[in-house]
């Protein structure tokens, strides 16, 4: 009996499993960490130091060995699914759902690193094959090179503990800078709805014949509108005394539009979306919501060329205009009077010169007795004009700049510059990706948590790339790749060193030119 | 009662249980961490602290070992692999459910007792006089409590274990823990130099931790890092390795900025040669 007692206590000595009474008593645990005092400089064998050391150590062990105890009602139950490498929630998610997790197949899921972090915080209890997983199980099962490595998880947890929102980086879902410039709606693959495009007269993309018939109706309605607008336009045009033009029959606009080339006719009455639809029929329509503009088929009215002189422009399709703005027929005659003026001026000036100035009136030219002397005269004149010696200026290689010409200092410095300054992302699109230097996470600021939407997170504050102190410093090629794949958001290298994490970033820098023009 | 046998030879022959995660050696059990510290090895904590998980000042288990620490443990035969997760734990689910039921019953009893004593205290503090009627009233209310009290399942306190359950047997039974931890080969002469320096300094009683942030190999503490500041930044070089002067300058400059002496360490002969860098003016 005694022996059994001994082995029992022997086994329980290193047990970390709490008894029910200990679990119950854990409710009244303190939630504060003792503050660490000042450190000593040098160890002497004093009793005081030894005591303080013991006290620090005891504090340390009591904190380290404390086990997590939570009320069952506060824990979200979940299961680990190894095939998909995700954690599926069995009970509804808590407050963390605002920034973490995703929905799939009607159920709520967490990524493995998110689940592990929530396990460490004591919010989620993950089961596998009916048994709850310990933190050790979580580390060993959830972290791998196919999900998130231990070093990456260290960075993830570090940032999450500080309050940042951290998501995995997906290079394919980042819009290119051009797409962002055009403010195109992002394509969403994860069961998202297609954005509804604003169309007033949007046809269903069916056969071409239906489209042409609709075009005709479109044109008819346009004509109707033109009649209405014409009366409005008349009032405006009173000032310009173009009544005579306006008095032409309403049939004119129609004939005008009919008289335009067939290509223009297509565009004048129809909307771009219709063209788009037809094109998309012939091509394979992409699943995403991006529209393709076929610039070859969109025509701009030609007012300047002399072949065709339409005096009227048909109003654009109302579906292209914002709101209920209605635009009437545009009379282009007064506008045309204002273009192509420059050319006329030039011509006049040249005419003047050629009319007034006869080269034979030049006395020096008359003094020349033969062509050789005339050529010498020309050379001298050129020299004077340029202000430099002929042997410098009359060869293939001339001086960079004539000192008698005016030039701003900045331009002059530009002329003598030998090296070209370049930006970090120049040439980066030609580089092939590398396995080693990859962006792992998007990091969003903590103060955006209140309005954070997982479906539309917005621009991240920075992107993380995880490496260790044993790795080499990223070379220019790696930095270019990272900057290029990140777009205009700074890339931060999180360097992990056995529990310590340091953050470094390389920033593009322009050497300022200290020039006052 | 006799003392449990394990405690006696704790510090001398305690075998520490390691488990690999992404090829990094981690310690999970609190007793293993204690024993490691008593051997003068510090390691680095990686996980969240259970009491306050949302801060980075103090971290909790697991503990990550330096490669030199791991190798030292292997050479001393003081480390063993923790057994992996039990794949076919038949009936474990039923056992766990039964245990949770038992815990629930015990906790309900404790909760009821707790409530009763709280009620009693409230009543005795308010009614100081009239002992007779107070006893009657008290008994009535306690009886009512007995009948109406329910301990909801959601209030059950549950433990989220840090280390894997079932590994908490006395580590002295080496038959339980699997084979000794193998020495994992570290490539490169630099690693060899690092290990020799580590072993030498540890032998002299210094505590060593990683010093990547300071541009060196190790931070050298005269005593436990909990109580003392580091004195040296150790940079390990092989004896015949040429060193660029600019590197020396940069590391010396760094050391003087953080008020630590830079120690250039090179294994030579049987021991290690130490050179300290000190910034001084022209003499």
Is B274 among the residues known to form the active site?
no
A469 against B6, higher pLDDT: A469
User: pLDDT at position A346, please?
Assistant: 55
Question: By the CB < 8 Å criterion, does A73 face chain B?
Answer: yes
Tokens of B40: 């003068």
Q: Which of A11, A14, A35 to mutate to test the interface with B (most CBs of B within 10 A)?
A: A14
Render A63-105 in DSSP notation, one character per residue.
HHHPPEEEEGGGPEEEEEETTTTEEEESS---GGGGTS-EEET
Q: What is the pTM of this model?
A: 0.70
Residue B52, min C-alpha distance to chain A (Å): 7
pLDDT per residue over B8-57, tens digit each? 334 446 788 899 998 899 999 999 999 999 999 999 999 999 999 999 99
Whether B254 has its CB under 8 Å from any CB of chain A: the answer is no
Q: What local confidence, expressed as pLDDT, does residue B128 receive?
A: 56
CB proximity B95 to A under 8 Å: no
Q: Is B221 noted as a catalytic residue in this protein?
A: yes
Residue B81 forms beta bridges with which residues? Answer: B18
User: Which of chain A's residues have a Cβ under 8 Å away from the Cβ of B61?
Assistant: 64, 135
CA B43 remoteness from chain centre: 8
Q: Which of A3, A9, A13, A158 to probe by mutation at the B interface, max B CB count within 10 Å? A: A13
Please tell me which of B136-140, B165-169, B244-248 the model is most confident about, judged by mean pLDDT.
B244-248
Given a cut of 70, is residue A428 above it in pLDDT?
Answer: yes
pLDDT in tens, A193-237: 333 333 444 444 444 444 444 444 444 444 444 444 444 444 444
Cα radius of gyration rounded to whole Å, chain A? 39
Q: Quick check: is B260 catalytic? A: yes
pLDDT at residue A507 above 70?
Answer: yes
Does the pLDDT value for residue A50 go beyond 70?
Answer: yes
E runs forming strands in A357-499? 441-444, 462-468, 491-497
- Asked if the model's pLDDT at residue A84 lies above 80, the reply is yes
Give the C-alpha separation, B142 to B134, whole Å. Answer: 12
A346 in helix, strand or coil? Answer: helix
pLDDT in tens, B115-131: 888 888 887 877 655 55
| Predicted pLDDT of residue A486 | 86
Q: How many CB atoms lie within 10 A of CB B176?
A: 13
The confidence band for B183, taking pLDDT boundaries of 50, 70 and 90, is: confident
Between B278 and A209, the higher pLDDT residue: B278
pLDDT of res. B177: 60
pLDDT band (50, 70, 90) for residue B69: very high
Contact yes or no for A15/A22 (Cβ under 8 A): no
Rounded mean pLDDT of A417-429?
80
Peptide bond into A411 cis (omega under 30): no
Residue A491, pLDDT > 50, answer yes
Top-confidence residue, A194 or A419: A419
At A298, is the pLDDT very low, low, confident or very high (cuts 50, 70, 90)?
low
A143/B22 Cβ within 8 A: yes
Give the gap in angstroms from C-alpha A178 to the nearest C-alpha of chain B.
40
* Least confident among A92-101, A262-271, A333-342, B15-24: A262-271
List the single residue in B with minimal CA-CA distance to A34.
B58
User: What local confidence, expressed as pLDDT, does residue A7 receive?
Assistant: 41
Q: Mind telling me how many Å the CA of A484 is from chain B's nearest CA?
A: 28
* Least confident window among A101-115, A257-271, A336-350, A414-428: A257-271
Please choose, from the candidates B45, B30, B65, B23, the residue with its C-alpha nearest in 3D space to the C-alpha of residue B162.
B30
Report how far residue A304's alpha carbon sits from residue B21's, in angstroms, rounded to the nearest whole number: 74
Compare CB distances from B170 to A10, A24, A120 and report the shortest one's residue: A10
Pairing outcome for strands A76-81 and A124-128 = parallel
Per-residue pLDDT tens for B208-250? 999 988 889 999 999 999 989 999 999 999 888 899 999 999 9
- The rounded mean pLDDT for chain A is 73
């Amino acid at each position: 009996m005694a022996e059994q007692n001994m082995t029992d206590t022997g086994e329980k000595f290193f047990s970390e499993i709490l008894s029910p009474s200990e679990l119950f008593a854990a409710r009244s645990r303190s939630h504060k960490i003792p503050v660490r005092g000042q450190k000593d400089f040098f160890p002497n064998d004093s009793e005081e130091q030894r005591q303080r050391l013991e006290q620090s150590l005891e504090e340390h062990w009591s904190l380290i060995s404390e086990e997590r105890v939570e009320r069952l009602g506060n824990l979200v139950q979940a299961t680990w699914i190894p095939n998909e490498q995700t954690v599926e929630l069995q009970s509804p998610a808590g407050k963390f759902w605002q920034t973490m997790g995703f929905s799939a197949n009607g159920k709520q899921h967490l990524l493995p690193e998110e689940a592990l972090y929530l396990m460490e915080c004591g919010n989620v209890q993950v089961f596998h094959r009916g048994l709850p997983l310990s933190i050790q199980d979580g580390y060993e099962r959830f972290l791998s090179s196919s999900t998130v490595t231990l070093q990456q998880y260290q960075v993830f947890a570090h940032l999450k503990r500080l309050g940042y929102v951290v998501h995995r980086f997906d290079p394919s879902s980042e819009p290119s800078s051009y797409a962002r410039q055009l403010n195109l709606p992002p394509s969403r693959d994860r069961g998202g709805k297609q954005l509804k495009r604003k169309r007033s007269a949007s046809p269903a993309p069916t056969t071409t014949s239906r489209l042409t018939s609709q075009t005709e109706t479109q044109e008819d309605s346009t004509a109707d509108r033109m009649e209405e607008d014409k009366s409005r336009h008349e009032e405006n045009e009173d000032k310009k005394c173009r009544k005579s033009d306006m008095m032409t029959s309403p049939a004119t606009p129609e004939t005008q539009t009919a008289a335009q080339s067939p290509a223009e006719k297509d565009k004048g009455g129809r909307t771009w979306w219709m063209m788009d639809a037809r094109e998309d029929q012939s091509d394979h329509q992409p699943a995403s919501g991006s529209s393709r503009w076929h610039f070859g088929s969109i025509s701009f009215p030609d007012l300047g060329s002399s072949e065709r002189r339409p005096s009227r422009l048909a109003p654009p399709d109302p579906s292209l205009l914002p709101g209920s703005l209605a635009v009437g027929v545009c009379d282009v005659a007064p506008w045309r009077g204002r273009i192509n003026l420059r050319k006329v001026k030039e011509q006049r000036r040249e005419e003047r010169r050629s009319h007034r100035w006869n080269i034979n009136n030049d006395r020096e030219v008359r003094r020349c007795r033969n062509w050789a002397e005339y050529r010498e005269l020309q050379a001298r004149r050129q020299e004077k004009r340029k202000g430099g010696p002929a042997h410098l200026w009359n060869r293939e290689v001339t001086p960079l700049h004539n000192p008698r010409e005016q030039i701003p200092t900045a331009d002059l410095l530009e002329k003598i510059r030998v090296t070209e300054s370049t930006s970090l992302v120049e040439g980066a699109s030609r580089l092939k990706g590398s396995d080693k230097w990859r962006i792992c996470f998007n990091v969003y600021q903590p103060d955006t948590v209140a309005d954070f939407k997982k479906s539309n997170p917005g621009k991240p504050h920075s992107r993380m790339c995880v490496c260790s102190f044993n790795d080499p410093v990223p070379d220019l090629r790696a930095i270019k790749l990272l900057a290029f794949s990140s777009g205009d958001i700074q890339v931060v290298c999180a360097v992990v060193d056995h529990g310590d994490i340091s953050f470094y970033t390389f920033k593009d820098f322009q050497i300022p030119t200290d020039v006052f023009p | 009662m006799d003392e449990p046998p394990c405690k006696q030879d704790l510090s001398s022959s305690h075998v520490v249980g390691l488990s690999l995660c992404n090829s990094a050696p981690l310690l999970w059990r609190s007793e293993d961490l204690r024993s490691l510290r008593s051997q003068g090895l510090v390691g680095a904590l990686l996980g969240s602290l259970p009491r306050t998980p949302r801060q980075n000042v103090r971290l909790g288990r697991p503990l990550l070992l330096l490669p030199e620490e791991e190798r030292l443990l292997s050479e001393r035969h003081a480390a063993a692999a923790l057994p992996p997760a039990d794949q076919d734990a038949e009936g474990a689910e039923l056992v766990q459910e039964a245990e949770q039921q038992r815990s629930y019953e015990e906790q309900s009893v404790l909760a009821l007792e707790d409530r009763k004593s709280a009620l009693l205290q409230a009543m005795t503090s308010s009614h100081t006089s009239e002992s007779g009627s107070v006893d009657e009233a008290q008994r009535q209310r306690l009886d009512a409590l007995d009948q109406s009290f329910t301990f909801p399942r959601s209030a059950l306190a549950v433990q989220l274990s840090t280390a894997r359950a079932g590994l908490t047997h006395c580590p002295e039974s080496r038959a339980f823990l699997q084979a000794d931890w193998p020495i994992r080969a570290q490539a490169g002469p630099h690693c060899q130099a690092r290990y020799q320096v580590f072993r030498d300094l540890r032998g002299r009683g210094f505590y060593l931790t990683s010093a990547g942030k300071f541009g060196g190999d190790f931070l050298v503490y005269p005593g436990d890092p909990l109580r003392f500041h580091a004195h040296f930044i150790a940079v390990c070089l092989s004896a015949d390795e040429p060193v660029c002067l600019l590197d020396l300058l940069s590391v010396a400059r760094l050391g003087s900025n953080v008020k630590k002496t830079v120690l250039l360490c090179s294994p030579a002969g049987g021991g290690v040669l130490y050179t300290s860098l000190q910034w001084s003016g022209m003499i």
